Every structure is written in structure tokens, then in C-alpha cells.
Amino acid sequence: MVKKAVLILSGGMDSVTLLYHIIAEGYTVFPISFDYGQKHRKELECAKQICKDLQLVHKVVPIPALNDLAPSSQTRKDIEVPEGKYDDDNMKQTVVPNRNMVMLSLAASYAISINAGVIFYGAHAGDHTIYPDCRETFIRALDVALSLCDWTPVRLKAPFVRMSKGQIVKRGIELGVPFEKTWTCYKGEALSCGVCGSCSERLEAFKIAGIADPLKYRKEVVS
């Protein structure tokens, strides 16, 4: 029997590793990416390229509403992307309120319409201090709501929720994930900056995994 799943694919290293992970588990995956006006639009190009390489049907869905309703430094030109590590207070500016539930709800509409019983997303252990909607309690609660939103239940799974980003790098290496094709930087430039919170976290993860990050950075960085 075909196991169909919808995956939220940002084009970043976590969701791309999750894509490879669930393909290895035997799922037929329907990746979905969201365009909510993020400055780091290059991640969408990365998501497209990865799906093309894997010959997957890929949906790219605009949500202009999110930018309008919930401004953040990820979408507004007038709010600067802060630099530094994720535990700094100013990184909270990067939070798009309730972004994950909006994306997961739309992913569920898609899942129901193509008879896929599962939605996956790449929340992981490192996310929880900044993002409430990456916590295990939130995931469990939304899983219950999704199981009731239609007559046929849709389940929500986040298999990396207890994994660190370093462990995700290791899993990705096992699966042959082309990390050089993934995008992490929050700034909208041609090359990754290497200094924003998102880049810092990625570089730290590769360092912990003891593997060199194959991505090109603007500045010379030690991974």
C-alpha cells in the first residue's frame, strides 16, 4: 500500500533531511513550501531544486496574509534581521506569530484533498526556546486537533523533535543529503552571511557533528 505524506519543506537543512528520512521510511512524499514574503527567498529556490532532483510533485503556496497580519524581521524591510546566537533576546524578532499552525493547517487541507494521512514537519530540539510552535506539547495538541478536523483523521509527525541540529547533520550525512543545496541564512543575500542567528546555529551544528559544512559563505567561517 502506498503511504502518502505531505511534508513542509522550507529548503533548510532540517526539512530537507526530514524529506530524505521519510523517503527512506517508505513514504511517497508530497512536499509543500510556503511563500510568506520571507527575505530569505533563496530557500524556496533550494526547495524547488531538491524536489526537481528527486522528481517529486512540489507545491509552492503563497500566503501573503501572513506578512500582512503578523509582521516580523523575516518579512518586513523595516525590521532588521538581528545577528548573534539564538538564545539572545533580540532573536525573538524573527518569530512570525503562529506561522507553523498556519502552514500545518494548509498542509492538512492539501493532505485531505490528496488522501494523505500524515503531515511531517522538521521541528527539532533546538527550536523550542524561541519558537513556542516547535514544542512537543504544541505538536501533540495540534495532532489531536488535526485528527478531528476531517472525518478521516490527519496525523502530525515531527520525528526530529527530540534531536539536536548536530544529530540532524549526522542523520543527513547517513542519508546522503546534499547539504550544499540547502539554505539556512535569514538575510536575503546571494551568499549566506555566516553571522545571523540562523547561520550561527547551522555552523554550530556542523561543528558538533564534526563535519565541514559544504555551503559557501560570504565570510570565511570555521564550521
Nearest Cα to Cα of residue 123 among 147, 96, 159 = 159
Output 35 or 204, the one with its CB closest to a second copy.
Answer: 35
Binding mask of the shown chain, residues 61 to 100, with x at each position contacting a second copy by CB under 8 A: xxxxxx-xxxx------------------------xxxxx
How far is the C-alpha of 156 from the C-alpha of 147, rounded, in Å? 8
Output 62 or 214, the one with its CB closest to a second copy.
Answer: 62
Residue type, 215: L
Output 24 or 141, the one with its CB closest to a second copy.
Answer: 141
Could you say whether residue 118 binds a second copy (CB under 8 A)? no
Strand partners, 156: 119
Kindly state the smallest distance separating residue 213's Cβ from a second copy, in Å: 31
How far is the C-alpha of 80 from the C-alpha of 72, rounded, in Å? 9
Nearest Cα to Cα of residue 74 among 156, 186, 179 = 186
Output 110 or 217, the one with its CB closest to a second copy.
Answer: 110
Could you say whether residue 106 binds a second copy (CB under 8 A)? yes
How far is the C-alpha of 215 from the C-alpha of 44, rounded, in Å? 16
Return the C-alpha cell found at 25.
521510511
Binding site for a second copy (CB under 8 A): 59, 61-66, 68-71, 96-102, 104-106, 108-110, 112-113, 132-133, 135, 137-138, 141-142, 144-151, 154
